[in-house]
Each structure stands twice: as C-alpha cells, then as structure tokens.
C-alpha cells in the first residue's frame, strides 16, 4: 500500500473534524480554514517520502496537542 493510507486518514480527519467542530468555527474566515487543512495535508504528504507511513503521526499528534491545550484551557477557565 502506498500513499493511499495517508490520503484516507487525512480525508477521515477532515470530514469528521469539519462535522464535529463546524459549530465552533462560525466566525473563522474560510481562507483560514482552507489554509489550515492545506498546510496539514502538505506537511503530511511532504513527509511521506521521508518517513513513510509514520507521517500519519503528524495530524494525529497535532490533533492530540490541540485537544490537550484546549482541555487544559477549559479546565483553567472553570477554576474560581
């Protein structure tokens, strides 16, 4: 299997992420969303020739980092 795994993973992340997080990104300009997904895809697919299938860890790690910082921020905001 070639780059199809990475393309499928990126597609799944984009479709699921857009569906889940769209209500929270109402005020985000479209160009910023396009740039974000474009850079994520470019970095992942650009690293594929170097890292192989390990390049899937890029969007997974960025998503996990974003979730971690978001949860920490929400937890800090709820403290009295």
User: What are the distances in angstroms from CA 73 to CA 31, 36, 42, 68, 77?
Assistant: 26, 21, 28, 9, 6
Average pLDDT, integer, range 44-59:
92
Mean pLDDT, all residues of the chain: 87
Whether the CB-CB separation of 40 and 59 falls below 8 Å is answered with yes
Q: What percent of the chain has pLDDT over 70?
A: 95
pTM listed for this prediction = 0.77
Q: Which domain holds residue 73?
A: 4-77
Q: How many domains does the chain have?
A: 1
Look up residue 17 and give its two tokens: 């992420």
pLDDT of residue 25: 81
* Distance from C-alpha of 26 to C-alpha of 23, rounded to nearest angstrom: 6
pLDDT of residue 19: 86
Higher pLDDT, 77 or 48: 48
């Amino acid at each position: 299997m070639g780059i199809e795994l990475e393309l499928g993973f990126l597609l799944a992340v984009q479709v699921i992420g857009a569906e889940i997080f769209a209500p929270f990104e109402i005020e985000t300009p479209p160009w910023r969303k396009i740039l974000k997904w474009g850079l994520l895809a470019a970095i992942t697919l650009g690293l594929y020739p170097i890292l192989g299938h390990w390049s899937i860890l890029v969007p997974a790690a960025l998503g996990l980092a974003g979730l971690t910082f978001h949860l920490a921020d929400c937890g800090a905001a709820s403290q009295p």
